[in-house]
Amino acid sequence: MRERNWLAAAALAAITILPVGDAGAFDESKYPNWKGQWVRTDAGAPRYDPSKPSGRGQQAPLKPEFQAFLEASLAEQKTGGQGGDPTYTCLSPGMPRIMNNYEGAELVVTPDTTHIFMEHIHDSRRIYTDGRPWPAFIEPTFAGYSIGQWIDEGGTGRYSVLEIETRGLKGPRSYDNTGLPLHPDNQSVFKERIYQDKADPNILVVEITTIDNALTRPWTAIKTYRRAQNPRPVWRESVCAENNAHVEIAGQGYMLSADGFLMPAKKDQAPPDLRYFAPTQN
């Protein structure tokens, strides 16, 4: 009888000490260890589907109208223009381009929110995992509004997969720097599954499915990031406006020379219209 009392007391004490729920403690052992700095594993220009070349090579299931847009973008870029790539003036890449992971990612897991910090132009995300429903109104953003759910896929008592749905986008956005376009109606929906490789916990897998009105069908790509070995990595600070040599005037892209003057971005490009300057000043 005494034994039972002791064991009962011990069990009660353990329950009392053990954190319960996020009100008491954040039990990190229930979540996957995603700490550290994650860099993309693919080489070449960051792109949506890293298993294929960029541009036409992505074989995006675009509707004819948007395939034509891509072709025009590529043609424009050949002449020195920026085509359909909206980020050259430091606009946010938004989703899904954020997840191309240009300059390293940090995933900060808390019970209520997983923060994805991407060092690039303006790429950080919040994934709400607090069980909230979709709000009645979403203020459109480039990153979108993301709701996630943790899944214990192996039934091990530990979450292994973060499933995310993202809506409420604004634009213009493209999948990558070729100008591969998303529909300007900004009705895109993204469904993601993020998890660690079972064989190598230093590989993070990001499966993204894009549902977008510029596509003939949902388009899925699988990305992988590798964890940097340095447990105290150096985080660069990418400030797009710093040394950005691109200027857009009246819808035309120009360059700034090293000595600060405007210069053409394309062969034989006309100079900008200076109609708002008094003629005597020119």
Partner 1 sequence: MQNRSAIRAAMGVLAIMAVLCTAPSGAFAFDPASYPNLKGQWFGVRGTAGGGQPSFDPVKRWGTTQDAPLTPEYDAMFKANLADQRAGGQGTNATSTCLAPGMPMVMNAHSPMEIILLPETTYIRVDHIRDTRRRIYTDGRDWPAEIEPTFDGYSIGKWIDSDGDGRFDLLEVETRGFKGPRSYDASGLPLHRDNKSVFKERIYLDKANPNLLHDDITVIDNGLTRPWTVSKTYRRNPDPRPAWVEYICAEGQQLVRIGNENYMLSGDGFLMPTRKGQAPPDLKYFSRK
Residues 71-130 that bind partner 1 (CB under 8 A): 89-92, 108, 110, 112-113, 115, 117, 122-124, 126, 128, 130
Judge contact between 33 and 227, C-beta under 8 A: no
Judge contact between 180 and 70, C-beta under 8 A: yes
How many Cβ atoms from other residues are within 10 Å of residue 33's Cβ?
12
Of 137-145, 153-161, 175-183, 197-205, the window that binds partner 1 (rule: CB under 8 A) is: 137-145
For partner 1, the binding residue among 2, 136, 156, 230 (CB under 8 A) is: 2
Sites for partner 1 among residues 216-235 (CB under 8 A): 232, 234-235
Cis peptide before 172 (omega within 30 of 0): yes
For partner 1, the binding residue among 43, 156, 199, 277 (CB under 8 A) is: 277
For partner 1, the binding residue among 85, 239, 245, 253 (CB under 8 A) is: 239
Which of 176, 197, 163 is closest to 120 using CA atoms?
176
Q: Is 19 in the site for partner 1 (CB under 8 A)?
A: yes
Q: Is 134 in the site for partner 1 (CB under 8 A)?
A: no
Q: Is 241 in the site for partner 1 (CB under 8 A)?
A: yes
Residue 221, Ramachandran bin (φ over 0: left; ψ between -120 and 50: alpha; else beta) = beta
Residue 249, Ramachandran bin (φ over 0: left; ψ between -120 and 50: alpha; else beta) = beta
Tokens 């064991």 — which residue?
Answer: 7
For partner 1, the binding residue among 43, 64, 132, 217 (CB under 8 A) is: 132
Q: Is 157 in the site for partner 1 (CB under 8 A)?
A: no
Q: Is 258 in the site for partner 1 (CB under 8 A)?
A: no
Q: Is 45 in the site for partner 1 (CB under 8 A)?
A: no
Q: Is 149 in the site for partner 1 (CB under 8 A)?
A: no
Q: Rounded to 5 degrees, what angle do the CA atoms 193, 69, 209 make?
A: 10
For partner 1, the binding residue among 156, 229, 230, 281 (CB under 8 A) is: 281
Residue 159: HSE in the Cβ half-sphere, 13 Å Cα cutoff: 21
Distances from the Cα of 105 to the Cα of 21, 111, 126, 148, 276, angstroms: 28, 19, 13, 18, 44
Q: Is 68 in the site for partner 1 (CB under 8 A)?
A: no
Within 64-155, residue ranges assigned H as helices are 64-78
Residue 136 C-beta: closest distance to partner 1, Å: 12
Residue 200 C-beta: closest distance to partner 1, Å: 21
Number of residues that bind partner 1 (CB under 8 A): 73
Q: Is 237 in the site for partner 1 (CB under 8 A)?
A: yes
